[in-house]
Amino acid sequence: MDYNTLLFEMRGKVALITLNRPEALNALSPELTAELTDLLDQLETDDNVAVVVLTGSEKAFAAGADIKAMKDWSYMDVYKADFITATWERISRFRKPTIAAVNGYALGGGCELAMMCDFIIASETARFGQPEITIGTIPGAGGTQRLARFIGKAKAMDMILTGRMMDAQEAERSGLVSRVLPSAELVEGTLKVAEQIARLSSPIAMMAKEAVDRAFETTLSEGIRFERRLFHSTFATRDQKEGMSAFSEKRKPQFNND
Ligand code: HXC
């Protein structure tokens, strides 16, 4: 698979995708989002892929949507193309676990793309922001909704109304990122976390992800009802039998993803 704006490699059952537009700090051009969508479509149905890690460069995860591409677009251009929904949101619908490994800038659409992953691991140098207001627009790839869910109203309003950046420590304190790693260890450290997930049962991990995601879409009682149905359904899998038998027999489980 050859792409102009992405690098891709498999590490065991973990797919590592690296955004690769160094000349523009990985600004998310239409070509990049189309390539990312195409790649994710293929990874979704590939049984050899259990987890996806999405990363950028040392300087930038992604500095946002491509401002130079967007600046002359008209309302009709963006409306007819359904700009954002058509391509960007593919990763938010990806059914297997996804982790964003963020070094450097994750701004605007870059921050939104990271938030579409299941969780974010940041390096000490990561900087998050939704600076759209400073260029005369607002977040358009879920930033107003997801950032508020991640860090609450006060900080989301502060970030989105001022356009200021948040460093990795503040992002961890605020709940935007799950862990902070030294910059030089970010990608390998994130791959280790991904490999840990990849050793478990893939369909069970997918159910766990689906259940957590439900928490952000529904009421508590409906969410718990949804969780209960999925929890019960794990008892229909061989991997649940294997996991619990292995524990009882004091051995490591061998999951077969079924
Ligand atoms: C296009 C970009 C870009 C972007 C950087 N570049 N960000 N090109 N779109 N979002 C380009 C610069 O023009 C420059 O190219 C090169 O990358 C290096 O950037 P510099 O600005 O020279 O680097 P530096 O001085 O280190 O500053 C880094 C920065 C700054 C603070 C990240 O680049 C910046 O503020 N970028 C824009 C951030 C932003 O506003 N993002 C939100 C975009 S709107 P040249 O060729 O000029 O040297 C958005 C809306 C999302 O994302 C809505 C849904 C999609």
CA-nearest residue for atom 32, ligand 1, is: 63
Ligand 1 atom having least distance to the Cα of 60: 32
Domain ranges of the chain: 6-198, 202-248
The label of the residue with tokens 């718990």 reads 224
DSSP states of 219-240: -HHHHHHHHHHHHHHHTTSHHH
Same fold, 6-198 and 202-248: no
Q: Please tell me whether the overall predicted TM-score, pTM, comes out greater than 0.95 for this model.
A: yes
Enumerate the H helices of the chain as residue ranges: 30-44, 67-70, 75-80, 109-116, 143-151, 153-162, 168-174, 186-198, 202-214, 220-234, 238-248
| Ligand 1: centre distance to CA 96 (Å) | 30
CATH architecture for segment(s) 6-198: Alpha-Beta Complex (3.90)
Rounded CA separation 146/115 (Å): 7
Binding site membership of 24 for ligand 1 (Cβ less than 6 Å): yes
Other CB atoms within 10 A of residue 78 CB: 13
Predicted local distance difference test score (pLDDT) of residue 1: 76
pLDDT string in tens for the chain (258-residue length): 789 999 999 999 999 999 999 999 999 999 999 999 999 999 999 999 999 999 999 999 999 999 998 999 999 999 998 888 778 899 999 999 999 999 999 999 999 999 999 999 999 999 999 999 999 999 999 999 999 999 999 999 999 999 999 999 999 999 999 999 999 999 999 999 999 999 999 999 999 999 999 999 999 999 999 999 999 999 999 999 999 999 999 999 999 999
CATH T-level assignment (fold) for domain 202-248: Lyase 2-enoyl-coa Hydratase; Chain  A, domain 2 (1.10.12)
Which tokens belong to 79? 């409306």
| Ligand 1: centre distance to CA 229 (Å) | 45
